[in-house]
Amino acid sequence: MKTRFYTGIVFCAIFGFLLIQCQDMSNETETLAKPELYQERHRPQFHFSPKEKWMNDPNGMVYYQGEYHLFYQYYPDSSVWGPMHWGHAISRDLVHWEHLPIALYPDSSGYIFSGSAVVDWNNSSGFGTPEEPPLIAIFTYHDVKGEKAGTNTFQDQAIAYSIDNGRTWTKYDGNPVIPNPGIRDFRDPKVIWDPESEQWIMVFAAGNQVKIYGSQNLKKWRHLSDFGEEYGSHAGVWECPDLFPLWLEEEQKHHWVLLLSINPGGPNGGSATQYFVGDFDGRQFVLDERFRTAVEKSKTGAEQAVWLDYGRDNYAGVTWADVPKEDGRRIFIGWMSNWDYAKVVPTETWRSAMTCPRSLTLRPTIAGPRLVQNWVDELKTLERVSSEIPPTKVSNTFDLIDQGPDEAVQSHVELKMKILSEDVSSFGITLFSAAGDSYILGYSIADGHFFSDRRKAGDHSFSDEFASEKHVGPHLLAGDTMNFDILIDRSSIELLADNGSLALTELFFPTSDFNRVTFFSHGGEVEVSGSLKKVASIW
Ligand code: FRU
């Protein structure tokens, strides 16, 4: 009897224990259950982001046989920066992306830092055949051992080639192609074929300058000139240059544009991209006279710069190589983050996304040619439900979008504004979340600038630098009308204003998704009209 009793007790105890364990486990699987891929909180729905882990600069952008290649600085073992690889994705339409295996791994020569890629159409390198031209990737080797040992020669330029449409890559055994002469920051090569001087041209950042090299075969390079010591902002390290021609219809000529990223020292702090407009004669980049006054030191010695984007979150952007002549576009993409806080932003499985691809053109101004940005037309293929806003007079607020509590705003918002009263002090849009967060993007007439205010837009506890103040950008066109062309994608907003002359790209991390957007006008009446389109997810 006794034994039976004890057996009973033991049985109950074991059963009870197992029951508790099972419950525990089910709780555990509940809490550990990962949200579905691409459904994670804050995950952009129509911007490129890696499936998982850390990403920074876009690299090696080249178009070949119907595919836009996008490589990127990638660390597959963590969602914080580490030994750099080149991640890889391709797209046929610049909006849908297919992830491919890692293209370049670090090796005994170092990490694979930023760089570019080109189609070697005439097989000048000899790695392919003229019938099947090779793709050549040009990148920086970053030798951590050398860096730790305190040398200044730990970065140099190297190449790799692919003869299977970029699917697999072989590093050149004659690397480096440009060894480091003793310059600490010596990186981020961008290559273009210059048909005028019939040579490959490479630009890369070297200390406080851009170095320009020329080559016939992508293996042997000759130093041609340097640019930039006396121009633009030098408040931080120069990185990721890009040099390319753009046709200016009104002047019936090509001008050359030099993009140059700088960290820190951006107009609103941290990383940002400045640019220069000039000419290139196959050897030297010379500033357009009209542009020079905008980027040379002022009489007081203050540095001046012209910025590609005034937001905090568009860095290290460059343009695609080999977009077919019939297409003719110069297409740009940037890394939508900032080194001030990129490593600590509150996303879980992945870190960082790219901007929406933008097509770059030049427009004439009295101060000389300036860049204009537009979303690539392919974005339209994602636009779904569309509604028009007829001209509406607003003297307080006006509802634009209301998604209901469970749906995040994922929209293309185009607005035209006419200022009807002299008393208007500011106008713009506010994004609201059900959790009580708000984000404001607008124009202040009193201050004469655009502004982005993410101070109440949700979580910014991860960094003091994320939302300490409003971020502002200049208004470049005169008149009493204005236009906003805005993309909102869960945790980012990109504004193109003044017909694409002003860009402002910013991140935010609302406590619950922004699901409502209103237009506001303070102080007086503004007439607003435009269109609202939902943008479909690409995943
Ligand atoms: C720019 C940059 C580049 C460098 C890369 C390293 O964001 O610092 O200069 O090549 O990132 O990941």
| Per-residue pLDDT reduced to its tens digit, 305-320 | 999 999 999 999 999 9
Q: Is the CB of 490 under 6 A from ligand 1?
A: no
| Residue among 336, 279, 275 nearest 306 (CA) | 275
Contact 271, 279 (CB under 8 A): no
More confident residue, 8 or 354: 354
Alpha carbon 384 to chain centroid distance? 24
Q: What is the mean predicted confidence (pLDDT) over 33-45? A: 88
Q: Is the CB of 84 under 6 A from ligand 1?
A: yes
Q: What is the mean predicted confidence (pLDDT) over 320-344? A: 98
The residue from 57, 313, 340, 498 that is catalytic is 57
Phi first, then psi: give them for residue 92, nearest 5 degrees: -100, -15
CA 438 / ligand 1 centre spacing (Å) = 33
| Residue among 452, 473, 174, 507 nearest 340 (CA) | 507
Rounding to the nearest 10 degrees, give the CA dihedral for residues 102, 105, 111, 114. Answer: -40
Contact 58, 335 (CB under 8 A): yes
Residue 179 has pLDDT above 90, yes or no: yes
- d(CA 395, CA 424) in angstroms, rounded, equals 9
Residue 22 has pLDDT above 70, yes or no: no
Close Cβ partners of 524 (under 8 Å, ≥ 6 residues apart): 395, 419, 420, 421, 422, 423, 424, 425
- The strand order across the sheet containing 67-75 reads 98-104, 85-91, 67-75, 53-64, 350-351
CA 145 / ligand 1 centre spacing (Å) = 17
Q: Is the CB of 240 under 6 A from ligand 1?
A: yes
Q: What is the mean predicted confidence (pLDDT) over 388-414? A: 95
CA 57 / ligand 1 centre spacing (Å) = 7
Residue 292, classed as helix, strand or coil, is helix
Query: Long-range contacts: 493-499, Cβ < 8 Å, 24+?
Result: 493/431, 493/439, 493/441, 493/452, 494/311, 494/314, 494/355, 494/356, 495/311, 495/441, 495/450, 495/452, 496/358, 496/373, 496/374, 496/375, 497/443, 497/450, 499/363, 499/372
Contact 459, 467 (CB under 8 A): no
Element (H, E) at 289: helix 289-295
Q: Is the CB of 513 under 6 A from ligand 1?
A: no
CA 298 / ligand 1 centre spacing (Å) = 30
- Is 327 designated active site? no
Which of 21-25, 137-141, 215-219 is predicted least confidently? 21-25
Q: What is the mean predicted confidence (pLDDT) over 279-304? A: 95
Which residue's C-alpha comes closest to atom 9 of ligand 1?
A: 239
pTM over 0.75? The answer is yes
- d(CA 410, CA 536) in angstroms, rounded, equals 8
Q: Is the CB of 204 under 6 A from ligand 1?
A: no
Q: Is the CB of 273 under 6 A from ligand 1?
A: no
Q: Is the CB of 340 under 6 A from ligand 1?
A: no
CA 263 / ligand 1 centre spacing (Å) = 10
pLDDT of residue 3: 46
Residue 381 has pLDDT above 70, yes or no: yes
Place of tokens 């293209």: 103
Phi first, then psi: give them for residue 20, nearest 5 degrees: -60, -45
Q: What is the mean predicted confidence (pLDDT) over 296-313? A: 95
- d(CA 55, CA 47) in angstroms, rounded, equals 13
Residue 362, classed as helix, strand or coil, is strand
pLDDT of residue 24: 42
Q: What is the mean predicted confidence (pLDDT) over 479-504? A: 97
Residue 493 has pLDDT above 70, yes or no: yes
Q: Which residues of 414-429 are buried (b: 16+ CB within 10 A; e: fewer)?
A: bbbbebbeeebebbbb
Contact 538, 96 (CB under 8 A): yes
Render pLDDT for 54-111 as a digit per residue (tens, 0 to 9).
Answer: 999 999 999 999 999 999 999 999 999 999 999 999 999 999 999 999 999 999 999 9
Q: Is the CB of 188 under 6 A from ligand 1?
A: yes
Ligand 1 atom closest to Cα of residue 81: 12
Q: Is the CB of 113 under 6 A from ligand 1?
A: yes
Residue 46 has which token pair? 């129509």
Phi first, then psi: give them for residue 498, nearest 5 degrees: 50, 50
- d(CA 185, CA 208) in angstroms, rounded, equals 9
Substitution candidate for ligand 1 out of 74, 81, 210, 239 with most atoms within 8 A of CB: 239
CA 40 / ligand 1 centre spacing (Å) = 27
Query: What's the one-letter identity of residue 327?
Result: D
Task: Please state the length of the chain.
Answer: 539
CA 537 / ligand 1 centre spacing (Å) = 29
Substitution candidate for ligand 1 out of 53, 56, 190, 208 with most atoms within 8 A of CB: 56
- d(CA 95, CA 84) in angstroms, rounded, equals 25
pLDDT of residue 34: 66
Phi first, then psi: give them for residue 144, nearest 5 degrees: -65, -35
Which residue's C-alpha comes closest to atom 6 of ligand 1?
A: 113
Ligand 1 atom closest to Cα of residue 335: 7
Contact 135, 62 (CB under 8 A): yes
Render pLDDT for 224-251 as a digit per residue (tens, 0 to 9).
Answer: 999 999 999 999 999 999 999 999 999 9
Substitution candidate for ligand 1 out of 72, 112, 113, 343 with most atoms within 8 A of CB: 113
In the chain, pLDDT over 70 holds for what percent of residues?
94
- Mean pLDDT score of the chain: 94
pLDDT of residue 23: 42
- d(CA 40, CA 45) in angstroms, rounded, equals 10
pLDDT of residue 404: 86
Reported confidence tier of residue 33, pLDDT bands at 50, 70, 90? low
CA 241 / ligand 1 centre spacing (Å) = 11
Q: Is the CB of 342 under 6 A from ligand 1?
A: no
Q: What is the mean predicted confidence (pLDDT) over 497-502? A: 96
| Residue among 107, 166, 59, 344 nearest 50 (CA) | 59
Reported confidence tier of residue 27, pLDDT bands at 50, 70, 90? very low
Reported confidence tier of residue 175, pLDDT bands at 50, 70, 90? very high
